[in-house]
Amino acid sequence: MNVFLKMVSVELGAKVHAILIMDGAGWHKSRTLKVPENITALILLPYSPELNPVERLWAYLRSHYLSNRVYEDYQHLLDAGAQAWDMTPPLPKWPRCLDMSTGRRPAA
């Protein structure tokens, strides 16, 4: 995680500040985690998937396009992510997905 944060920090440059929202995975909260000066890490509350609905999208991208691969460098990782995003079919029911992000079933 530290290597990734360092690479992101370098790509951002000194004049750009980013907020990185992370779930409560152990490596996101480790005492050995070194967050660069130009990144602020926000850790989500435990058991709160409604705060992070993009996890469903990442699960889809990983299972269909991005799993079991090693990338040469940061640029290749970015290119693979962009290509996976471009190949992902549009979500057919955005309102339903948005309702699901609240943790409640959509109204019938």
Could you read off the pLDDT tens digit of each residue along the chain, which spans 108 residues? 889 999 999 999 999 999 988 887 777 778 888 999 999 988 888 877 777 777 778 888 888 888 888 999 999 999 998 999 888 877 654 444 444 444 444 444
Distance of CA 1 to the CA centre of its chain: 13
Q: CA–CA separation, 38 vs 10, rounded Å?
A: 9
- Whether 42 maps to a domain, the answer reads yes
pLDDT of residue 91: 66
Together in a domain, 42 and 2: yes
Q: What is the pLDDT of residue 105?
A: 42
pLDDT recorded at residue 62:
86
Q: What does the alpha-carbon distance between residue 66 and residue 80 come to, in Å, rounded to a whole number? A: 7
Range of the domain at 18: 1-47
Query: Do the domain assignments include residue 66?
Result: yes
**Which tokens is 51 given?**
């705060």
In a shared domain, residues 39 and 2:
yes
Residue 107: inside a domain: no
What global pTM score does this model have?
0.51
